[in-house]
Structure 1
Amino acid sequence: MLRARIVLAAAGGAANAVIAADLRVHVDTVRKWRVRFAAHRLAGLEDRPRPGRPRRFTPVQVAEVKALACSPPAQRDVPLARWSAAELARHAVAEQVVESISAATVRRGLAADAIKPWQHRSWIFPRDPAFAVKAGRVLDLYDRRWEGIALGDDEYVISADEKSQLQALRRRYPGLATGPGRPARVEAEYRRGGTLAYFAAYDVHRGQVLGAIAPKTGIAWFADLVEKVMTTEPYASATRVFWVVDNGSSHNGARSVERMRSAWPTATLVHLPVHASWLNQVEIYFSVLHRKAIAPVDFADLDALATRILAFEDRYNTTARPFDWRYTRADLNDYLARLRRHDPDAPAPEFGRVA
């Protein structure tokens, strides 16, 4: 105990500065406990009563309220979709967890553990029987490996997809630029100017993007993008080019793999698991494109929208760097393990551990 060590050192005749240096505390701390011990002996080393109101709720009551927040309301026969702080406070009293408690107190208690039962996030339980295998090989490509062998300098990984139904919405009145204490204003009413699709191929390790505008999605339009990429250096003379795609209609199924191999012998189409677009790096680029170049949507026509998209692509490529992708096979293994712990009896495919 620090206080006792200070007193014992003082009893041995050490000066305050020497004791402070030895125990790595401030000299004022040494002085305080020497004075208290001299005045009150051992009782002087005890904590003094602290100001403020004593705690109203025991640790058990706090834990029970948090456990209530982490349980769905339906388990308590409460006709609610999600808990609010006020509803939690009311139900904690109804279940006699506490005699009384305010919503603000509940909110502060939950904030300590970052529990927010009033929020929710959608997700899709993986249902692809080969989820682990398909996801693992894509993560290998991001790590520049294929079937356990490192990729060469003349082998490339492309993440490709299409952003469909991009609308050319024209606002009925011009927007108002931002000003002191005022955000930019955008007219809520608009006229529709049609839709287009944007196909993009993102080089995972170079950070470069090649894209193409199309009137809609489809096999033919994806083939045009592939041709544009495969006839452009360095891909035209590459030993192999891997194309990571999802299961969209423009490039799904075994036939799409055969079409790619037949048209471009150096190209290999690699499908993601179903509902795993979050593993497709081009989706990150699409997010950047939407936030920086499209939203809020206000374009005179489809030509203006297409011009903006392609101009942003050129601008992006001038300073592009690969995304700092950190999701690895180890993370995938942890994810699959959590799924099994979450619901081991769920009617889901058998997930093997990724080697």
Structure 2
Amino acid sequence: MRIPCARPVLLAAAERERLKKMAYGHKTEYRLRVRAQVVLHAARGRSNARIARETGLHLDTVRTWRDRFATGGLPALADRKRSGRPARFTPVQVAEAKALACQLPAETGAPLARWSCPELAAELTARGSTDTVSASTVRRRLREDALKPCQYRSWIFIRDPDFRATAQRVLDLYARTFEGAPLDEDEYVLSSDEKTSVQARCRCHPALAPGRARATRVHHEYGRGGALAYLAAYDVHRAKVFGRCEPKTGVVPFMALVAQVMATEPYASAKRVFWIVDNGSSHRGKKAIDRLTKACPNAVVVHTPVHASWTNHIEIFFSIVQRKVVRPDDFTDLTQVRNRLRAFEDLHNATAQPFQWKFTTSDLDDLLARLDRHPSADRQEESSAALAA
């Protein structure tokens, strides 16, 4: 019986370099490393039997990879596509799982607030949709459409009948226009609000600084050192912030902030200074407008829509204060809180740039159009009518 001769292997310089990286690379998969070694040995003119002895592989394995490379080159060293085991989770069952994940558990009678993948798998089995299915299989199928039934986000439906007109005034001011006319150089836009209950929590043990593979650690127990309110006004286009700390919020503290800001330049001699505020008790309604206009004739109050504080730039600044200054709250007393807030104002005013506000009136129209198509809109109108009755 004639023994077949080993097929000759000739390598180009680029192929040899790539095979060496595969054969001796630390991150190369073992199977690819072995195949590359077989080809490199074959390129040196060695027989299959010798290669098998030196690599510890079976002779048939060496012959297979030598022949495949001689026929197809480098791409032939990769695994061929395989049919694999037939899918046990059929497309119909996948669709049922995704449809169930898009339903609230209460609608199905399950005593749950949110679905988890194990509970979805159990529900599908209980319904007879499938004999058995694992939670990992459900999770993998839901990931295809980015379905995350275990997560939730809160939101609030628009109830202000003048939402668009009110919001447009605010958005136009961010774009330096008011009532269709551009603002002059001596007109300014301030965004203002109060951050309540900034607490001084004195930890029972000092915080531990971060280390290698360890985050900052703050002791859970603390003593209460009181709380204060932080009032601030933010110049939208100049990125300047003016703040003050008060024992509590109210009309008097807010007017003190107004006096503090309006007594400084360029606001004292400005043609108009627009104050964007929400509908909090300190600056709500016509009385607040008259009060502020009487104190500062060049001040113009502009209210945000009801339940739409997200249109107020000062909320962005307060979120920065919450992350960078307040949390984790570890203060010995309220004096330390006040000092840190003042120091952060100086740091912010020296380095900050105006926020890149990208939500325009066109985006507002798109939002309102989507809400009009939302199925909850009719339910909201019915609820509002019932409350009014």
Q: TM-score, normalised to structure 1's length?
A: 0.82
Partner of 1:272: 304
Partner of 2:126: 94
Distance 1:238 1:97 in 2: 71
8 Å CA contact 1:240, 1:266 repeated in 2: yes
Among 195, 214, 217, the residue aligned to 2:249: 217
Partner of 2:74: none
Partner of 1:184: 216
Are 2:357 and 1:347 equivalent residues in the alignment?
A: no
Percentage identity across paired residues of the two chains: 57
1:216-255 alpha-carbon deviations (Å, 9 max, x no partner) = 1011111111111111112112111111111111111110
Superposed displacement of residue 315, structure 1 = 0.6
Are 2:151 and 1:119 equivalent residues in the alignment?
A: yes
Are 2:73 and 1:62 equivalent residues in the alignment?
A: no
Name the amino acid aligned to 1:281: H
Are 2:357 and 1:332 equivalent residues in the alignment?
A: no
Distance 2:298 2:223 in 1: 45
Distance 1:290 1:132, change over 3 A: same
Name the amino acid aligned to 2:379: A
Distance 1:337 1:126 in 2: 12
Among 159, 162, 165, the residue aligned to 1:133: 165
8 Å CA contact 1:73, 1:79 repeated in 2: yes
Distance 2:186 2:91 in 1: 62
Superposed displacement of residue 164, structure 1 = 1.0
Q: Which has the larger radius of gyration?
A: 2
Distance 1:244 1:106, change over 3 A: same
Superposed displacement of residue 135, structure 1 = 1.3
1:113-168 alpha-carbon deviations (Å, 9 max, x no partner) = 22111111111222222122211211111111111111122111111001111111
8 Å CA contact 1:168, 1:301 repeated in 2: yes
Distance 1:60 1:326 in 2: 42
Among 106, 119, 124, the residue aligned to 2:138: 106
Are 2:102 and 1:73 equivalent residues in the alignment?
A: no
Q: TM-score, normalised to structure 2's length?
A: 0.75
Among 102, 107, 117, the residue aligned to 1:85: 117
Partner of 1:245: 277
SS at match of 1:161: strand
| Two-structure CA RMSD over aligned residues (Å) | 1.8
Are 2:302 and 1:302 equivalent residues in the alignment?
A: no
Partner of 2:258: 226
8 Å CA contact 1:162, 1:199 repeated in 2: yes
**Which deviates the most, 100-109 or 328-337?**
328-337
Aligned length: 303
Superposed displacement of residue 170, structure 1 = 0.8
Superposed displacement of residue 319, structure 1 = 0.6
Distance 1:292 1:77 in 2: 44
Are 2:296 and 1:254 equivalent residues in the alignment?
A: no
Among 223, 235, 251, the residue aligned to 1:203: 235
Partner of 2:66: none
8 Å CA contact 1:126, 1:348 repeated in 2: no
Distance 2:282 2:183 in 1: 27
Superposed displacement of residue 60, structure 1 = 3.1
